[in-house]
A and B are shown apart, each in its own frame.
Chain A
């Protein structure tokens, strides 16, 4: 792969003083990077017709242009090549943008938004990569549409539904663990699908589900740079790290996970909170909770910001009460309006039914069980996992409470990001896209160079992990071969990036460690919004 280098004047470097003027001195994204990323997106989009998750029955096998790709063994190899190359180009282009920042230049948010659409356009119409969840969403939405409560029934209740055969058997009889708002929304979207042939009907429903996720991404494109600007952080860098991120393209655009809409609403809420519009922030974040529950931690930071505006005794209690009352009232109203009830509460354990490698507690439990097996103790794995998961969840609650309530406050984005990171790190089940819960808010907050570096490499690692994890489930491709090919591609991208970086200096991003002497916290915000 050719190294993407960008010539430019390093003297345009970020202002070390910490305050960034709105869009002055910004350069557009170099065209070469935009094109390489777009080619990557296109290759991924084409490869997805074979190695993405296609509906059952697969409607693409009948299309003359796709028949070979969809059916023949050589088509599987070709698709593998497309996916590996596409992801390498996409990640490479993304890292190349990072190098532009590392060279100290600032990119205009507009050109980054355009790059986002250019890269993700092919993925918008292709089958989902990496996860079958979009098909579960479609089936649950169908249940909601015809009036069967998805909190009471899994898709398996209707084996004859056109959506059921495409659902992952693991979730066939599981109730939906999502909030009522997203089920209501997706129910209405899926209700619009015309009665065409089964495969196409399912596919249209998945595109409808994706539309909801993309709506969340649109919110991110708007809210992330706005929040960053308010907090005195580079909006372009925030967009790059938080939205142009390959994980967002892979999991939110292609994978159509409803976490996108949760994060979109959450980020709008945080942007409003940073601007001290705390009531509307509470409303936005409550709607995010009505999509998926983890957004609830954002309310804690909004309440703390609220407390900062109050005077007199019991400030925190009053603030938390206010946020709590507003939020509970709105949530109850949404629940009543959708008519779906409170069943999601009991369904929250559903994602924990699978063992995910990324969950520290589950994986530790598995390893402990294996070690115990070595010394002759049998059947330790399940109890070990149960205990560790319980401890992990409890620890998560403690960490979140500490982050919310500690005296020395950080800004809302950093606080929410760290709290969600704690939740993910200690959660009983972690899917790769859960990490975005933390990455997106953190991207909008003032990060140190080291933190940007850590998030960058985590993104690269998780992108390739997601691909291996998501592709090995496709029959006909050997697991060892897949891992080897992806490892090789990953190595090429990393070596290329390191080589391109060699010799370039590592400027600061204009951020100091944000907890110290930092004016841009919630309690004493420096509102540098563009109004």
Chain B
């Protein structure tokens, strides 16, 4: 495995996102002097926080999966997860509501889920689901240790017995046909394959290995931290500070000072120069290369990004009967949705939406008797959007109306009227925050941008990258892993390492 060269005592981490914090904890645990520089006033990066009108909105992820990976990061400094973050299971993990009016609750317990499928669809489908659980569990077991939680230097690293086993399982077929092999009803097919959207691809393009995401959220279970998802970076930052990490907020890094391919210091907007033996970069990869390192390698320049999303955060007086944390409103259209937002660069004509109601899990996020709704609508990213001439500076307002009208018609009557605090984020806003192509979902997980083919996490002699743009990929679990992989590039391989998530 390749590592940085030279001394590794003084380490500067740029960005207190989950990747940067995960790396910082590992480095502090190994006795390094770590300084984390964060431009915002709070940690978390994309797992951000918006406080307004008595509401605490999570601006990023809406739940946490694989909490063992958080425990791993805290293990590095000898801390226990339950002392820093309190996690509550989210049950059901999702409620899928279909255009035909039926609904299906996704439960992490396979027995209970089989019973739910039998109730909604039938016994044959329930049996198919149980075989599907066997398939995704096996995928997880094979992938996590050998391909995900591991630094891959070249495609040759992939050549392991697990690769052959993955191939035999059908992991390199496309996701949609693979799912159809187990599940015959379009409703279950959708609910167990839409996760490819998290990886930036339609289920018709994604490889079946991405069914591992369905394992993470639909089988391993979904959790919500007390105090919101943002409590997670807060907890990690607290533990890091306790263990000697210097965390400086409101400190914007404007560039890396380097000699050839070796970084020697970072410079801040205040003109301060902070010397470093190693620099860890947590910003979005293209931005990190373009603005901080000053050169963009081809592997990054060629990147195709995931679709983006419009997120409407609403503090609301309205409460709807039998609320659940996550509701997916599936439209009637399905493959057309992917064609529109990925290929055509248009907004969905028959939208499928994710509605998160986090106050179901933690009512203290809103004032008494109030609710929070976060409505996520997948949209094209800014690059795809140019194909249809999509201009968010003009489309934002009409699109908001369109979203609200859709919600009113699909089970949220009076939604618009009840809003008392609101923020809408469009791809233009994501771009302004430094995200390439205006998407918070980074490089898509096509085969050519997966594993060793994804932009690497080591540049030059001593610059290491972490976050969703590099290996292994996007999502809170992967980003936490990317922090570990970054630390490993600095500290060297740890033969005794056994993740709680796969040991």
Most buried by B among A142, A159, A161, A164: A159
Task: Tell me which of B84, B88, B232, B362 contacts A146 (CB under 8 A).
Answer: B84
* Cβ contacts under 8 Å, B226 to chain A: 159-162, 164-165, 198
Task: Tell me which of B84, B88, B230, B362 contacts A161 (CB under 8 A).
Answer: B84
Task: Tell me which of A56, A147, A157, A161 contacts B85 (CB under 8 A).
Answer: A161
The residue on B at minimum CB distance from A162 is B86
**Closest approach, in angstroms, between the C-beta of B258 and any C-beta of chain A?**
35
A100 within 8 A of B: no
* Cβ contacts under 8 Å, A160 to chain B: 84-86, 225-227, 231-232, 234-235
**Closest approach, in angstroms, between the C-beta of B48 and any C-beta of chain A?**
13
Interface flags for A166-209 (1: CB within 8 Å of B; 0: not) read 00000000000000000000000000000100100000000000
* Cβ contacts under 8 Å, A148 to chain B: 238, 241-242
Q: Is the CB–CB distance between B242 and A198 below 8 Å?
A: no
Q: Is the CB–CB distance between B242 and A162 below 8 Å?
A: no
A164 CA / B231 CA spacing, docked (Å): 10
Interface flags for A127-161 (1: CB within 8 Å of B; 0: not) read 00000000000000010011110000100011111
Interface residues of A in 97-126 (CB under 8 A from B): none
**Closest approach, in angstroms, between the C-beta of B135 and any C-beta of chain A?**
33
A34 CA / B168 CA spacing, docked (Å): 79
A56 CA / B88 CA spacing, docked (Å): 13
Given A145-B83, A146-B83, are A161 and B235 also a contact pair (CB < 8 Å)?
yes
Given A146-B79, A146-B242, A165-B362, are A158 and B368 also a contact pair (CB < 8 Å)?
no
A164 CA / B83 CA spacing, docked (Å): 11
* Cβ contacts under 8 Å, A145 to chain B: 83
Q: Is the CB–CB distance between B88 and A164 below 8 Å?
A: no
B82 within 8 A of A: yes
Q: Is the CB–CB distance between B79 and A159 below 8 Å?
A: no
A142 CA / B235 CA spacing, docked (Å): 13
A63 within 8 A of B: no
Given A148-B238, A148-B242, A165-B226, are A159 and B82 also a contact pair (CB < 8 Å)?
no
* Cβ contacts under 8 Å, B84 to chain A: 146, 158, 160-161
Q: Is the CB–CB distance between A158 and B234 below 8 Å?
A: yes
* Cβ contacts under 8 Å, B85 to chain A: 158, 160-161
Number of interface residues of B (CB under 8 A): 22
B364 within 8 A of A: yes
* Cβ contacts under 8 Å, B228 to chain A: 159
A24 within 8 A of B: no
Task: Place the interface of chain A in its size category.
Answer: 10 to 19
The residue on A at minimum CB distance from B86 is A162
A475 within 8 A of B: yes
Interface residues of B in 224-257 (CB under 8 A from A): 225-228, 230-232, 234-235, 238, 241-242
Most buried by A among B86, B238, B362: B86
A56 CA / B234 CA spacing, docked (Å): 20
**Closest approach, in angstroms, between the C-beta of B74 and any C-beta of chain A?**
10
Q: Is the CB–CB distance between B231 and A158 below 8 Å?
A: yes
The residue on B at minimum CB distance from A197 is B88
* Cβ contacts under 8 Å, B82 to chain A: 162, 195
* Cβ contacts under 8 Å, B232 to chain A: 160
The residue on B at minimum CB distance from A56 is B364
A9 CA / B82 CA spacing, docked (Å): 62
* Cβ contacts under 8 Å, B227 to chain A: 159-161, 164-165
The residue on A at minimum CB distance from B225 is A160
* Cβ contacts under 8 Å, B79 to chain A: 146
Q: Is the CB–CB distance between A142 and B83 below 8 Å?
A: yes
A453 CA / B234 CA spacing, docked (Å): 54
A292 CA / B82 CA spacing, docked (Å): 30
Task: Tell me which of A142, A146, A159, A165 contacts B234 (CB under 8 A).
Answer: A159
**Closest approach, in angstroms, between the C-beta of A464 and any C-beta of chain B?**
27
Q: Is the CB–CB distance between B242 and A157 below 8 Å?
A: no
**Closest approach, in angstroms, between the C-beta of A498 and any C-beta of chain B?**
42
* Cβ contacts under 8 Å, B238 to chain A: 148, 153, 157-158
The residue on A at minimum CB distance from B236 is A160
* Cβ contacts under 8 Å, A161 to chain B: 83-86, 226-227, 231, 235
Q: Is the CB–CB distance between B225 and A475 below 8 Å?
A: no
**Closest approach, in angstroms, between the C-beta of A205 and any C-beta of chain B?**
12
* Cβ contacts under 8 Å, A147 to chain B: 242
The residue on A at minimum CB distance from B229 is A160
Interface residues of B in 350-397 (CB under 8 A from A): 362, 364, 368
* Cβ contacts under 8 Å, B83 to chain A: 142, 145-146, 161
Most buried by A among B79, B84, B85, B226: B226
**Closest approach, in angstroms, between the C-beta of A96 and any C-beta of chain B?**
41
Q: Is the CB–CB distance between A198 and B235 below 8 Å?
A: no
**Closest approach, in angstroms, between the C-beta of A239 and any C-beta of chain B?**
41
A56 CA / B84 CA spacing, docked (Å): 17
Most buried by A among B85, B230, B368: B85
A235 CA / B228 CA spacing, docked (Å): 54
Q: Is the CB–CB distance between B231 and A159 below 8 Å?
A: yes
The residue on B at minimum CB distance from A153 is B238
Q: Is the CB–CB distance between B231 and A475 below 8 Å?
A: no
A159 CA / B242 CA spacing, docked (Å): 16
* Cβ contacts under 8 Å, A164 to chain B: 226-227
Task: Tell me which of A153, A158, A165 contacts B364 (CB under 8 A).
Answer: A165
A153 CA / B362 CA spacing, docked (Å): 23
* Cβ contacts under 8 Å, A198 to chain B: 86, 88, 226
* Cβ contacts under 8 Å, B231 to chain A: 158-161
* Cβ contacts under 8 Å, A153 to chain B: 238
A206 CA / B355 CA spacing, docked (Å): 36
A145 CA / B242 CA spacing, docked (Å): 12
Interface flags for B59-85 (1: CB within 8 Å of A; 0: not) read 000000000000000000001001111
Q: Is the CB–CB distance between A158 and B235 below 8 Å?
A: yes
* Cβ contacts under 8 Å, A162 to chain B: 82, 86, 226
A161 CA / B83 CA spacing, docked (Å): 7
A56 CA / B225 CA spacing, docked (Å): 14
Q: Is the CB–CB distance between B368 and A159 below 8 Å?
A: no
A147 CA / B238 CA spacing, docked (Å): 10
Interface flags for B446-471 (1: CB within 8 Å of A; 0: not) read 00000000000000000000000000
**Closest approach, in angstroms, between the C-beta of A72 and any C-beta of chain B?**
17
Interface flags for A206-232 (1: CB within 8 Å of B; 0: not) read 000000000000000000000000000
A475 CA / B368 CA spacing, docked (Å): 9
The residue on A at minimum CB distance from B85 is A160
* Cβ contacts under 8 Å, A159 to chain B: 226-228, 230-231, 234-235
A302 CA / B369 CA spacing, docked (Å): 55
**Closest approach, in angstroms, between the C-beta of A105 and any C-beta of chain B?**
52
* Cβ contacts under 8 Å, B230 to chain A: 159
A115 CA / B238 CA spacing, docked (Å): 47
Most buried by B among A146, A148, A157, A158: A158
* Cβ contacts under 8 Å, B362 to chain A: 165
* Cβ contacts under 8 Å, B88 to chain A: 198
**Closest approach, in angstroms, between the C-beta of B334 and any C-beta of chain A?**
37
A148 CA / B84 CA spacing, docked (Å): 11
Q: Is the CB–CB distance between A157 and B364 below 8 Å?
A: no
A147 CA / B88 CA spacing, docked (Å): 24
**Closest approach, in angstroms, between the C-beta of A14 and any C-beta of chain B?**
54
Instruction: Other than A158-B234, A159-B234, A159-B235, give 15 A-B pairs with Cβ distance below 8 A.
Output: A146-B79, A146-B83, A146-B84, A148-B241, A148-B242, A159-B226, A159-B231, A160-B226, A160-B235, A161-B84, A162-B226, A164-B226, A165-B226, A165-B227, A165-B362
Could you list 28 A-B pairs, sorted by A, with CB under 8 Å?
Answer: A56-B364, A146-B79, A146-B83, A146-B84, A147-B242, A148-B241, A157-B238, A158-B85, A158-B235, A159-B226, A159-B227, A159-B228, A159-B230, A159-B231, A159-B235, A160-B84, A160-B85, A160-B225, A161-B84, A161-B86, A161-B227, A162-B82, A162-B86, A164-B226, A164-B227, A165-B227, A195-B82, A475-B368
10 closest residue pairs by CB, A with B: A160-B231, A159-B227, A160-B85, A162-B86, A159-B231, A160-B225, A146-B83, A160-B235, A195-B82, A160-B227
Q: Using a CB–CB distance below 8 Å, which chain A residues touch chain B? A: 56, 142, 145-148, 153, 157-162, 164-165, 195, 198, 475
